[in-house]
Structures are given as C-alpha cells and as structure tokens.
Structure 1
Amino acid sequence: MQAVSTPVITPSNRTTLWSALVSVYILWGSTYLFIHFMTERMPPLYMASLRYIIAGTLLYSYARLTGTSRPTTQHWKSAGLVGILLLTIANGALTIALQYIPTGMAALLGGMLPVFLLTLNWVSFGRVRPSNMALAGLGLGLLGIYFLIKPDRLHTTGGVDANLIGAGLVTVGNFSWAIGTLLAPRVSLPSQIISSGIQMLVGGFVLLAISLAVEPVTLWSIVDAPSKAIGSMLYLVVFGSIIGFSSYAWLARNARPQLLSTYAFVNPVVAMLLGVFFAGETFSAQSLLGALIALGGVVLITFGKK
C-alpha cells in the first residue's frame, strides 16, 4: 500500500475536523434506520437502486460542472466494477438483510468489516501478516459475532431462520465490500467525486436491473411509494451519500488514519441506539455483551495494524 503522510491539524480547521467526524459518526450511523424506514412498504432493491442513481447523478454532474475532466472508458470500467462490489452486492445485501434482522444487529455485523479486510489482505491482496494485537482482535470479533447472532441472545419476532439469513447476507456484503475496498487502489480511477458518482450510477443501475427482474416493480413504482419511504430515500441521498461522503473524503485527506478509523466502531453503536429509540428494537443484556465483545475486537484490529 502507498505510504500515507500524517496530516497536520491546525487550530483553524480543528472545528471542521470535529464537525466532519461527528457527521460521519451520526449520519452514517443513521443510514441503517432510514434504510429500514425506506423499505418497510417498498421493495428493498428498487428503493436502494433509486437512491444511488439519484446520488450518483448529482455527484457526477457536480464534478463535471466544476471542471473535472471527462472520465475515460477505463475509468468507467474500473469505477463501475468497484461500484458493483460496494453498492450492488454489499449494500444490496445489507438492504435485503434489514428485512430479516433489526437495524442494530445489522449495523453491529456490518461493523465487523475490518475482520474481512484484515483476513483478505493477509491471505490474498497484500500478503501482510497482521500484528498479534490485530489477530487477537480477529478472534475477539468472531466470538462477539457468535454471541450476537445466537438465537437466544436477541429478542426478535423473526426467529432463528431470519437471524441466520440476515447475518448471512451481511456477511456476503462485508466480503464484497472488503474486496472492493482492497481492489480500488489497484485499478485506474478518476478523481474522487466523479469516481464516487460513477460507482453510484453503475451500482444503482445494476441494482435496478436486478430489481426489475426479481421484484414486483416497474420503472414507475416510485409513484406508489408512501411519503415515509420517499422521505427516507431523500435523506439517504443527501445526508448518507452526499454529505456523509463529503465529510469522509475531507477526513481522509486531513485527519490521522487512526482517528478516521474510529467510525467503524462508533457507527454500530449509533445505529443500535437509534434502532432502540425509534424502531422499537429490544436487546437483551447477553446480546449487548456480544456487541461489546465484537466492538472490542474491531478496536484491537484498528489500532493493531502495522
């Protein structure tokens, strides 16, 4: 991987730093709840596809109008592939998973992404052996997942099968997201904003094609969507995809990597609390213990990187 220089944070932009960090913490942590609201009465893949098509169109148009050069065919192919991995497969699987498991549980399982990044970078992409602390975090994270998805640890009306289906979908999503993340630095991508726009457009249109094939929808089914679903989709477009992305991109350039990586274990906590207060989700003491164990594993992995 390319060496990353340590950014210097001056007092003049410290407020911007913490504003962006809180934005990523809260806005990205809230996306699980709003995906749940968006798909309560609408097909999940259809609504997810519209979310990314709208956000991708806005980002791509903004990049071109502000002078970003037109991406090449190779840029479209590379960014499109990353978009399919991150958005079509990973976020598509997460959106379906939220039909089976509570948002808090999905967020906590999604927070295990560093486990997949660590493992894939070890056995395939980078061939880099993790530090002992990171390996301890890997074991702790897997133990936490076991307690979290164990049927008698979580109060839900879905039952055993629903828990396992939901957890399996999130696992598939984590695996695909990890591949896309590790692949992105190894392919030819355009500038960040237009690259994200392409990823959302390609990922969104592939999702739409899948939705039209497997879900009971047409291109114009959005006109039948309830206002709650439309409002949630617009929230995800503006706050989840555009503002959340912009904050993360600024942090990637200006914050220390260790500070930025804390979103991986703050987002699940935010999502779990929002699910409890606004979606009526109930967790037992044992499931909370499993969540704490899993998050502890992520912390060890994050700060145990070489």
Structure 2
Amino acid sequence: MLWSALLAVYILWGSTYLFIHFMTEQMPPLYMASMRYIVAGTLLYSYARLTGMPQATPVEWRSAGIVGVMLLTISNGLLTLGIQYIPTGMAALLGGMLPVFLLSLNWFSFGRQRPSNAALMGLLLGVVGVFFLIKPDRLQPVGGAQANLIGSALVIAGNFSWAIGTLLTPRLTLPSGPLSSGIQMLVGGLVLLFISLCLEPVTPLSIFQAPPKALGSMLYLVIFGSIIGFSAYSWLARNAPPQLLSTYAFVNPVVAMLLGSLLAGELFSTQSLIGALIILAGVVLITVGKK
C-alpha cells in the first residue's frame, strides 16, 4: 500500500502540471480548478456514502474542510494561477521547495523532530538538483522577468500552504479515507468557486462554454490527479513520515519536465538531466534516512 500510494503520487501528480495548463489555456484558471474539485469531491463523497461509510460528524467536517482549504483552495489555487505566468516545467520544479517547508516546520514547530543526518543530506541534494533543473538552457518564463517573479512567488506561497495542511492532517480528527478526501475536495472546491465568482468573469454554468480540450484535461485531472492521486496523498499524510512524503516533490519535477519536453515543447537539456539525477539521489537518501 505504501509504495503503491507513493507511485501514484510520483507519476500521476507529475503529469498534472501539464494538464492544468491545457485546462486553463482558454478558460479562467480558478473557475476550472474549482470545477475539478467539486466534480471529484462529489464522486468520492457519493462513493463513500453508497459503500456504507458512516456520515461524518460536524467535527470531522470542520477538520476536513480546514485541510481542503489549505491544500486545494489556497495551495492549488495559487499553483493554477502561477502556471498562467511560468511554464509548467518551472512550476513543477518550484515544488522542490516543499520538502524544505515540510521538514523545517516539522522540526521547529509541529513535531519538534530533527530529521536524521541522511535525510538532511538528501534534502540538500534535492535542493541542489532543483537549482540545476530550474535553469534549463531554453526554458524561459512566459512573460519575462516580471512574470517569472509573480508566477514563482505564487507557486512557492502555495507550497507553504500545502506544507501546513499536510502537517495538520494527522493532528486533526478526520473521517475515513474516501469520505475525508471527498469532503476536502467539496469544501476546497466550493470556496474556490466563490473566489472565482468574485474575481473572474464567470457564472456557475460557464463550464458548458469550455472547449473540448479544457473539458478533457479536467476529466483527466478529476480521475488521475484528484480521485486517485489526492486520495493516495491523503493516505500518505496520515500514515507516512514527513521525510518520506516529501520525496514526491523531488520526483514530480522530473516527470513534469519529461512530459513538458514531449508534449509542450519545453526543452529537457543535459543540465536538466543532471539535475534530475541529483534529485533522485536526494530521494534515496531521504527515504533510507527516515526515522
């Protein structure tokens, strides 16, 4: 179960960056992100209830809602906005900042637990690898230096919110797996929809105006990114140590860069390959160095 969940998060989430770009090419980003989570949350919640899972208590609804807002409304909303300014590969590479936030917050605030020396060395290698990856030869920001700054700041802020939500998850009273994920997506998606209606030129029925490419990409994100990938991540957040969980942020950029080079014309240079190899070395050290 552990390695199956890790594999789902490693591979499937690495592909979501590109499909977020496809989903929002011709549609408002926050609106499409909200639709993604409302649809996925409705399916997961309905499945959980139809298979006999008990109704969540008010405390469980509140806890799952808090996590949903941190992970989906804030973090994924900022990521979706950031991809409007920078290439998908660069957005994925900035995800390499997440382990820094996870291990630091768990060390100094949440868990008061110092990572092992091997895990710290793996973290350092991962950051060095991201440095190599984030500066490929021809991977340029969409709108120049200012767009690069805006997009990078949005993605990094989203990573910080994701780290807080991840570390809060095992400390809150949550319902069982699919029910918890469904509630998180419903609450996170509905809050995101409210923000979208306030900020973007949309109505609740604007989804019917979306082009086929946007709808197909949203369907992929609903099934593989949200239902399978997010459910696997939620299970890992409850059952895996932060050091091991954080390794996905080192693997996702490698997957995203490969897909970006194949499907979106983003160059995967020799320098990027070196960065990917350094990142994988960091993943190994963090994994074997977990307490």
**TM-score band (shorter)?**
0.7 to 0.9
Residue 164 of structure 1: aligned partner: 149
Structure 2 distance, partners of 1:291, 1:163, is 22
1:173-188 equivalence runs, <5 A: 173-188=158-173
Question: Relative to structure 2, which stretch is displaced further, 81-90 or 279-288?
Answer: 279-288
- Does residue 195 (structure 1) correspond to residue 180 (structure 2)? The answer is yes
User: Counterpart of 1:128 in 2: which secondary structure?
Assistant: coil
User: Counterpart of 1:282 in 2: which secondary structure?
Assistant: coil
- Residue 137 of structure 1 is aligned with which of 89, 109, 122? 122
Decide whether the 8 Å contact of 2:102 with 2:242 is kept in 1: no
CA offsets 1:112-140 (integer angstroms, 9 cap, x no match): 42222111100100011122222223333
1:99-118 equivalence runs, <5 A: 99-118=84-103
Decide whether the 8 Å contact of 1:261 with 1:302 is kept in 2: no
* Superposition deviation, residue 208 in structure 1: 0.6
* Superposition deviation, residue 260 in structure 1: 7.6
Decide whether the 8 Å contact of 1:23 with 1:247 is kept in 2: yes
**Residues 144, 165 of structure 1: alpha-carbon distance in 2 compared, 3 angstrom cutoff:** farther
- Residue 81 of structure 2 is aligned with which of 96, 116, 131? 96
Decide whether the 8 Å contact of 1:63 with 1:193 is kept in 2: yes
* Superposition deviation, residue 48 in structure 1: 0.3
* Superposition deviation, residue 154 in structure 1: 3.4
* Superposition deviation, residue 282 in structure 1: 2.1
* Superposition deviation, residue 251 in structure 1: 8.0
Structure 1 distance, partners of 2:245, 2:166, is 15
* Superposition deviation, residue 250 in structure 1: 7.8
Decide whether the 8 Å contact of 2:91 with 2:152 is kept in 1: yes
Decide whether the 8 Å contact of 1:122 with 1:129 is kept in 2: yes
Residue 267 of structure 2: aligned partner: 282
Structure 1 distance, partners of 2:66, 2:243, is 28
1:202-213 equivalence runs, <5 A: 202-213=187-198
- 2:151 maps to a residue whose letter is G
* Superposition deviation, residue 206 in structure 1: 0.7
**Residues 149, 223 of structure 1: alpha-carbon distance in 2 compared, 3 angstrom cutoff:** same
- Residue 45 of structure 1 is aligned with which of 16, 30, 50? 30
- Does residue 84 (structure 1) correspond to residue 69 (structure 2)? The answer is yes
Structure 2 distance, partners of 1:295, 1:30, is 17
- Residue 224 of structure 1 is aligned with which of 203, 209, 213? 209
Residue 268 of structure 1: aligned partner: 253
TM-score (ref. length: structure 2): 0.87
Decide whether the 8 Å contact of 1:44 with 1:95 is kept in 2: yes
CA offsets 1:33-91 (integer angstroms, 9 cap, x no match): 11110001111110000000010011111111111111111111100000001101111
Structure 2 distance, partners of 1:245, 1:63, is 15
Gap regions ≥5 residues in structure 1: 1-6, 10-16
Structure 2 distance, partners of 1:259, 1:277, is 29
Residue 238 of structure 1: aligned partner: 223
**Residues 116, 21 of structure 1: alpha-carbon distance in 2 compared, 3 angstrom cutoff:** closer
Structure 1 distance, partners of 2:240, 2:290, is 17
CA offsets 1:74-109 (integer angstroms, 9 cap, x no match): 111100000001101111111111112221222222
User: Counterpart of 1:184 in 2: which secondary structure?
Assistant: helix
**Residues 176, 302 of structure 1: alpha-carbon distance in 2 compared, 3 angstrom cutoff:** farther
- 2:149 maps to a residue whose letter is L
**Residues 157, 289 of structure 1: alpha-carbon distance in 2 compared, 3 angstrom cutoff:** farther
- 1:266 maps to a residue whose letter is V
* Superposition deviation, residue 179 in structure 1: 0.7
Gap regions ≥5 residues in structure 2: none
TM-score (ref. length: structure 1): 0.83
**Residues 261, 181 of structure 1: alpha-carbon distance in 2 compared, 3 angstrom cutoff:** closer
- 2:126 maps to a residue whose letter is G
Residue 28 of structure 1: aligned partner: 13
* Superposition deviation, residue 256 in structure 1: 11
- 2:290 maps to a residue whose letter is K
